[in-house]
Amino acid sequence: MVRTDESGLRAASAGGGFRPLAEEQLPRLYRLARRLVGEEAEDAVQDALLKAYRSYDRLEDTAAGPAWLTAILVNCCRDRARARARRPEEVELDEVEEFSLFRTIAHEDPFPYSDSLHLDFLQQFGAEDVRAVLAKLPDSYRVPLVLVYCEGYHVKEVAFFLGVPLGTMLARLHRGRKLFERQLWDYADEYGLLKEGARR
Amino acid sequence: MITCAEAVRQLWEYLDGLVDESQREAIEEHLSFCRRCCGEVEFAEELRRFLAEHPEAELPEEARARLIATLDELEKQP
């Protein structure tokens, strides 16, 4: 569907195009925004609705509406993250490249009486902990990680959302996973999750 | 034949179905005899489930009402 007439925007909403799409997608957009910008999620979704409404007449394929809204939301979230000018902790990527959470858990053996050591490690983390760990990652790594592994988008879709080549996306995912593993371990250490029965 | 380091470096791409046929065969050959790397694969799968299984907060009713009001305002614009 191509909307090129001057009244396209109004026709879109009056004809039931944009509004049903937006209303249907609100819960999913909000959940994604929570992962990307935390407490600013509602504002980010509002930003995305405004931008999407203004450009709905350029959406050629209505079946692509949910992915199109996602791409707009992701960019609104990135704008907000940049505006916050929050500097994530500096990370040494070379050091992280060599890190293996699997081997670290096996070597450090935080739960000596466990017969499912690695699983027990992961079970120490609640939803708030996971959110806090993800928040420690720089946006360029956190956003692809969240979209692919938390939200289930294909890597190619995410490369499209973010406007980067597939090779760049794969490299960011690789480093994002490494950073996430490292931050999981550091967080567990810092918040006392490496003690038998700390959470259970 | 690939080394453990090479296999581990490609494990997530392997699980994501992003390696080509020859890479997939090389990794699976390595996994057929390397118990440690099999442990790495199992843990990578657990980590993927771990990331997917931690849901975010649902859209609160008040926030939904405010966003619906935004849509109402947009429709009123000339």
Give me the domains of chain A, ranges plus CATH numbers: 8-84 (1.10.1740.10), 93-190 (1.10.10.10)
Q: Exposed, middle or buried: residue A170 (CB in 10 Å: 0-12, 13-18, 19+)?
A: middle
Q: Exposed, middle or buried: residue A119 (CB in 10 Å: 0-12, 13-18, 19+)?
A: middle
| Helices (H), ranges, A56-126 | 65-84, 93-97, 101-108, 117-122
- For an interface test with B, which of A18, A25, A102, A153 has the most B Cβ atoms less than 10 Å from its Cβ? A102
Rounded Cα distance between A17 and A121, Å, is 47
- Option in A22, A125, A152 nearest B52 (CB): A152
Asked if B39 reaches chain A (Cβ–Cβ under 8 Å), the answer is yes
Q: Are B30 and A2 contacting, i.e. CB atoms less than 8 angstroms apart?
A: no
When the pLDDT of each residue in chain A is averaged and rounded to a whole number, the result is 84
ipTM above 0.90, yes or no: no
- For an interface test with A, which of B9, B40, B71 has the most A Cβ atoms less than 10 Å from its Cβ? B71
Q: Are A44 and A35 contacting, i.e. CB atoms less than 8 angstroms apart?
A: no
Contact B51 A42 (CB under 8 A): no
Render pLDDT for A26-73 as a digit per residue (tens, 0 to 9). Answer: 999 999 999 888 889 999 999 999 999 999 988 888 888 999 999 999
Q: Are A193 and A154 contacting, i.e. CB atoms less than 8 angstroms apart?
A: no
Please tell me whether the overall predicted TM-score, pTM, comes out greater than 0.90 for this model.
no
Ordered by start, the domain boundaries in chain B are 4-76
pLDDT bucket at A4, cuts 50 / 70 / 90: very low
Window from A84-88, B2-6, B12-16, B68-72 with minimum mean pLDDT: A84-88
Q: Which tokens hold the place of A192?
A: 């006392």
For the cut 90, the answer to whether the pLDDT of residue A8 exceeds it is: no
